């Protein structure tokens, strides 16, 4: 364990957060600063700080603004790469859209950073926050719900044995990811959509720097996204049918690069090297509700999106903001009034982002001629109609 794990536990904690990843740590920080008289407990399975997650994440401009406000962004800004321009195109067709930060009075439309760098900064901020108790090496096991509180059972590994502890709390926050044990324990069902695609994630070295350009290229086999990184590198997200993804992932690096180049083209220069290749299924998972008795789900525990629009983590950030806002003036953090208000507040955002993501996946995966014509007209319209482009850009930057 690490942090102040030996501090005496109160008879009744205001809340316990299961999961100290990106969204869980951010939520703990926002709530702790909004309610300095509360002690916020975080259960995190990683014993010695966050895992070294090599994935890159795209932070919307609104997310960066929040991180600046709470003093976290200043710790990682030099490790990030700005997205100053976005280029969206449909390979083999004329439709395309270009967005520029300068058109919208912002320095960048977003930032690209490794999950590990941001998670480490959030973790350190949590440890420095005197009213956060971080239970490292602890994970949620089950909960027993009562009218006015919830008993949270969690396990801690000591040497070769595991010990179960119980903490009474007014609210349990499930921030424990897509395979959420909190969600399963609460009996909350999930709706699933399988897009029949796998995402190949990798880091490419290019012949030239992307100079702040991010690309979303729709192809016959699936979308390819390139996000700018430092030193002529780019983060690749390549969506393919499962059998294609398996086949391409097994190719030697030079053949992998050739196939990727063929699909994407040369707009971003030549692809000269690749590393850290992994794949995972692309699916939509949405909890049928985000709340249960004295329980709330946030982040991937509540929703997992296709990466096509890069909105998954940013949606979780807005979960954290909304929950912290609801709890700021709450007399009883786990009351139905507070949780139902949170659930209602988040629904329009879920519907908007999930609708956008799902429409992009389905609309650009279909090669039916009328649909191809329609989406290229839409891209052309976005590029040439400033009011429409402004709406799309604000959505991309996370401003509602």
Q: What is the pLDDT of residues 370-397, one digit of tens each?
A: 455 555 555 555 555 667 677 777 778 8
What integer pLDDT is reported at residue 372 of this predicted model? 52
For residue 400, what pLDDT band results from cuts at 50, 70 and 90?
low
- Which residue ranges form the domains of the chain, and what is each CATH number? 13-56+117-191+284-358 (3.50.50.60)
Which of 22-26, 87-91, 201-205, 291-295 shows the lowest per-residue confidence on average (mean pLDDT)? 87-91
2: pLDDT strictly greater than 60: no
Arithmetic mean of pLDDT, 164-179:
97
Mean pLDDT of the chain: 89
Is residue 7 predicted with pLDDT exceeding 60? no
Residue with tokens 């296709």: 306
User: 94: pLDDT confidence band, cut at 50, 70 and 90?
Assistant: low
Distance CA 29, CA 36 (A): 10
pLDDT at 326 over 80: yes
Helices 312-328, 61-69: crossing angle, 10 deg rounding: 40
pLDDT band at 4 (very low <50, low <70, confident <90, very high): very low
**Is pLDDT at 339 greater than 90 in this prediction?**
yes
Q: Look at residue 20 in the predicted model and tell me its pLDDT.
A: 97
| Integer Cα distance of 241 and 307 in angstroms | 15
Please name the residue ranges forming H helices in the chain.
22-34, 61-69, 73-76, 115-128, 181-186, 242-249, 253-264, 312-328, 336-365, 369-384, 386-397
According to the model, what pLDDT value does residue 374 have?
54
Q: Give the dihedral of Cα atoms 352, 358, 364, 369; nearest 10 deg.
A: -90
Q: Give the per-residue pLDDT at 97.
A: 84
pLDDT of residue 152: 98
pLDDT surpasses 70 at 65: yes
Within 8 A by CB and 6+ apart from 31, the residues are 15, 38, 40, 323, 324, 327
Alpha carbon distance 186, 189 (integer Å):
9
Work out the widest C-alpha separation in the chain, in whole angstroms. 66
Separation of alpha carbons 364 and 349, rounded Å? 22
pLDDT at 364: 57
CA nearest to 35, candidates 297, 300, 289, 324: 324
What pLDDT band is residue 360 in, cutting at 50, 70 and 90?
Answer: confident
The C-alpha atoms of residue 322 and residue 304 are separated, in whole angstroms, by: 18
Inter-residue contact 399 to 393 (CB < 8 Å)? no
Q: Quick one: pLDDT at residue 365?
A: 55
Which pLDDT score is estimated for 11?
63
In order of 45, 171, 172, 363, the CA distances from 143 in angstroms are: 17, 11, 9, 42
Q: Is the pLDDT of residue 254 over 80?
A: yes
- Report the percentage of the chain scoring pLDDT > 90: 71
The pLDDT assigned to 102 comes to: 92
Q: Are 139 and 175 in contact (CB under 8 A)?
A: no
Instruction: Name the pLDDT band for 368 (thresholds 50, 70, 90).
Output: very low
Mean pLDDT of 80-101: 84
The pLDDT-based confidence of 222 (bands split at 50, 70, 90) is confident
Least confident of 86-95, 104-113, 246-255: 86-95
Can you tell me the mean pLDDT for 128-152?
97
For the chain, the residue count is 400
The answer to whether residue 92 scores a pLDDT higher than 50 is: yes
Mean pLDDT of 115-140: 97
Question: pTM (2 decimals)?
Answer: 0.91
Question: Is the model's pLDDT at 38 over the cut of 50?
Answer: yes
């Amino acid at each position: 364990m690490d942090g102040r794990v030996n501090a005496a536990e109160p008879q009744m904690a205001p809340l316990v957060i299961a999961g100290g990843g990106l969204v869980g740590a951010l939520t703990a920080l926002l709530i702790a600063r909004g309610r300095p008289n509360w002690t916020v407990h975080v259960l995190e399975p990683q014993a010695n700080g966050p895992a070294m997650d090599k994935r890159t994440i795209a932070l919307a401009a609104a997310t960066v603004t929040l991180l600046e406000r709470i003093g976290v962004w200043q710790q990682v800004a030099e490790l990030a790469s700005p997205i100053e321009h976005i280029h969206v195109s449909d390979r083999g067709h004329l439709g395309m859209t270009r967005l520029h930060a300068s058109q919208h009075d912002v320095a960048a439309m977003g930032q690209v950073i490794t999950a590990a760098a941001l998670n480490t900064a959030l973790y350190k901020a949590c440890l420095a926050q005197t009213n956060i108790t971080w239970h490292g090496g602890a994970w949620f096991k089950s909960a027993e719900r009562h009218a006015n509180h919830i008993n949270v059972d969690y396990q801690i590994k000591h040497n070769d044995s595991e010990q179960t502890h119980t903490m009474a709390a007014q609210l349990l926050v499930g921030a424990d990811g897509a395979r959420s044990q909190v969600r399963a324990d609460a009996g909350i069902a999930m709706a699933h959509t399988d897009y029949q695609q796998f995402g190949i994630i990798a880091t490419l070295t290019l012949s030239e720097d992307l100079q702040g350009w991010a690309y979303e290229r729709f192809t016959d086999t699936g979308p390819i996204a390139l996000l700018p990184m430092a030193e002529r590198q780019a983060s690749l997200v390549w969506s393919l049918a499962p059998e294609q993804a398996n086949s391409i992932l097994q190719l030697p690096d030079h053949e992998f690069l050739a196939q990727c180049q063929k699909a994407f083209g040369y707009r971003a220069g030549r692809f000269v090297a690749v590393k850290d290749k992994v794949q995972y299924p692309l699916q939509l998972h949405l909890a049928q509700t985000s709340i249960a008795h004295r329980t709330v789900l946030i982040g991937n525990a509540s929703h997992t999106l296709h990466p096509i629009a890069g909105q998954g983590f940013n949606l979780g950030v807005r979960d954290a903001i909304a929950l912290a806002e609801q709890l700021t003036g709450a007399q009883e953090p786990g009351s139905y009034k507070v949780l139902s208000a949170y659930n209602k507040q988040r629904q329009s955002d879920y519907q908007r982002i999930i609708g956008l993501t799902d429409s992009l996946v389905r609309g650009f995966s279909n090669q039916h001629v009328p649909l191809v014509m329609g989406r290229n007209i839409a891209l052309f319209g976005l590029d040439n109609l400033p009011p429409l482009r402004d709406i799309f850009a604000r959505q991309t930057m996370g401003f509602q």
